[in-house]
Amino acid sequence: MLLFRGTDLRKGLSPEELQKVTDNWMAWFKRLTEQGKAVAGNPLEREGKIVSGKDRVVSDGPFAESKEAIGGYFLLDVNTIDEAVAIARECPGLPYGIRVEVRPVAGECPIAADIRKEAQFAQV
Amino acid sequence: MQNMNTQKQNGYMLLFRSDEWYEELSHDEIQKVISQNNSWIEKLIAQGKAKPGHALQRDGATVSGKNGRIVSDGPFAESKEVIGGFLLLDVETIAEAIAIAQRSPTLDYGTSIEVRPVAEECPLDVCARELAREEQFASA
């Protein structure tokens, strides 16, 4: 999974430059989809809420104009992290400060897998 | 600010953020939370409110810099709260999405959940068009 971090890309770009970046981005996604390398992807609105803790407190972002906030994601169907990283390096947002987090999708909950492994180890 | 009843046709994404919430729990407790979490998700899928989600492994890489020159290990760059998984919700309002997020069993152990509307079109594209209009207006 590729997580695109940074929602402040538009700062300092002209409308034409911004349009070019988004066109390139969409063309990139279209190509990856046609090659069967991307199976899903979506931009996220620059808004939302955070629910946290025992008390289920609801708070605001910030999701707009942030370096950290996630602006969208691609779900890739590739076999190695190297392949995923190579694709991430093609991201048209990189020259404008976007960072791409590359994360392996887990076959099962990694925490469950860890405790099962530990349990097996303890039995040996 | 977003109207809590705004209709969204594209659903919502829940991003589960956590530090290592399970570190202080026993194996049995962890197993219990995981089972509760699984049945919560299965129920949402059965109700047609969620599509099957994915857990993410805690490792990975972050690519940054012009032309992706910098590749660093791990997702941990500057953010303390790592995304541990996600779920796509097929509900119409953010109020519904928040209500679902609030029932997540892992919240009791200090996790947090980002509730984000999935965009119909790229917000950057919308922004580029708005900027172009503003420029046209300014030069008219």
Indicate the domain borders of chain B. 12-139
Tokens of A113: 């897998």
Q: Name every chain A residue with its beta carbon within 8 A of the beta carbon of B18.
A: none
Taking only the tens place, the pLDDT of each residue in B53-101 is 888 988 889 999 888 888 888 766 445 578 989 999 999 999 999 999 9
pTM above 0.90, yes or no: no
Rounded-to-integer distance, Cα B120 and Cα B88, Å: 14
Rounded-to-integer distance, Cα B8 and Cα A14, Å: 29
User: Which residues touch B23 (CB under 8 Å, ≥6 apart)?
Assistant: none
Q: Shortest Cα distance from B48 to chain A (angstroms)?
A: 19
Tokens of A28: 């990139």
ipTM value for the complex:
0.87
The larger pLDDT score, comparing residue A30 to residue B77, is at A30
Q: Shortest Cα distance from B2 to chain A (angstroms)?
A: 8
Partners of B88 in the beta sheet?
Answer: B13, B51
pLDDT score recorded for residue A104: 93
A4, A63 contact by CB (below 8 A): no
Average pLDDT, chain A: 89
Which of B59, B65, B98 is closest, CB to CB, to A58? B98
CATH class of A2-123: alpha beta
Q: Which CATH architecture has domain B12-139?
A: 2-Layer Sandwich (3.30)
Q: Name every chain B residue with its beta carbon within 8 A of the beta carbon of A42.
A: 10, 13, 118-119
What is the rounded average pLDDT of the residues A94-123?
82
Taking only the tens place, the pLDDT of each residue in A12-27 is 788 889 899 999 999 9
- The nearest alpha carbon in chain A to B114 belongs to A50
Tell me: pLDDT of A81 over 80: yes
